[in-house]
Amino acid sequence: MVKIKSLETIKNRWSSAIPRVPGAYKEGVSTVTDWKERALEGQSLYEKKMSDAAILKRRAKALENVSTDEWKSKAANLGSARIGAGMSANVDKYTKGFAPFREAIANTSLPPRSEDGMQNLTNRAGAVVQALIQKKKELVG
């Protein structure tokens, strides 16, 4: 038989680690120098794994194990508590990322309105969507 700590001990050690984890995490992150290069080196393996049927089935099985109530509870309680701080910390990144798309929208010439509402939707909204698609192609390739 394998000796293992009780579930209560494991739970207590997990809980007692929580106050020190954010600092240790931040310290670990500060020592990383080549995360992007290493991530890009692994791109082909990532693509291979993301097309592996067994991995995709494992994902589906994991999703099946989470109830809608559990997902809603975590999203409402954890997600809602974190989203504001995350948005505040990234407002400049958001602004910089959206700027080219905002410019594309602002520079789009819209055709005149017609009497047909559906034609207006197709022609006018379509022009905006096309400008956004083009801008994304320019930026991402």
* Residue range 1-39, pLDDT digits in tens: 878 888 999 999 989 999 999 899 999 999 999 999 999
Residue 72 to residue 78: CA distance in whole angstroms: 10
As a whole number, the mean pLDDT across the chain is 94
What average pLDDT score do residues 120-132 get?
Answer: 96
Q: Rounded to two decimals, what is the model's pTM?
A: 0.64
Helical segments of the chain, H only: 7-17, 21-30, 35-41, 43-50, 53-64, 68-74, 80-89, 91-106, 117-120, 126-140
